[in-house]
Amino acid sequence: MSALALPLAAVFVITVLSAALHELGHVAVAKAVHGKMHGLVWRWYGVGCRLEVRKEKLWLVALGGLTASGLLALLFLAFAGPFARFGFTLNAVVVFSNLVPHPALDGGYILRHFRR
């Protein structure tokens, strides 16, 4: 087995679990505002949830994913080591890149809510 196999596996697991928890943050808030989840879909920027939520509640659902990633980044920050640094950096990048006010990203949903 290659010396890189274990580190690459750890990076893969951290990445997949971070993405899953981000999407679960969306799902949890969608359920809280009486929305429905219809599955996962691959998009140009990664995986996303297909949700049915009232339009005026979309910004809250967007905040759910950002909050999940932010809390996960803080959790990784509490630990030491290269994998913890990777987990922190990955989730911090997810939070800040999702704040970009692009219509398909969380920041776009939040911006649309406050521009009304």
Q: For residue 104, tell me if it sits in a domain.
A: yes
Q: Are 90 and 18 in contact (CB under 8 A)?
A: yes
Q: Are 107 and 34 in contact (CB under 8 A)?
A: no
Q: For residue 62, tell me if it sits in a domain.
A: no
| pLDDT, position 1 | 63
> What's the total number of domains in the chain?
1
Query: Quick check: 40 pLDDT over 90?
Result: no
Note the pLDDT tens digit of each residue in 77-102.
999 999 999 999 999 999 999 999 98
pLDDT mean across residues, the chain = 92
- At residue 12 the predicted structure's pLDDT band, cuts being 50, 70 and 90, is very high
Return the closest-CA partner of residue 29 out of 110, 104, 91.
110
- At residue 44 the predicted structure's pLDDT band, cuts being 50, 70 and 90, is confident
Task: Please indicate, yes or no, whether the overall pTM of this predicted structure exceeds 0.85.
Answer: yes
Q: For residue 61, tell me if it sits in a domain.
A: no
Q: For residue 5, tell me if it sits in a domain.
A: no
Query: In Å, what is the CA distance from 25 to each residue of 1, 3, 7, 9, 96?
Result: 36, 35, 27, 24, 16
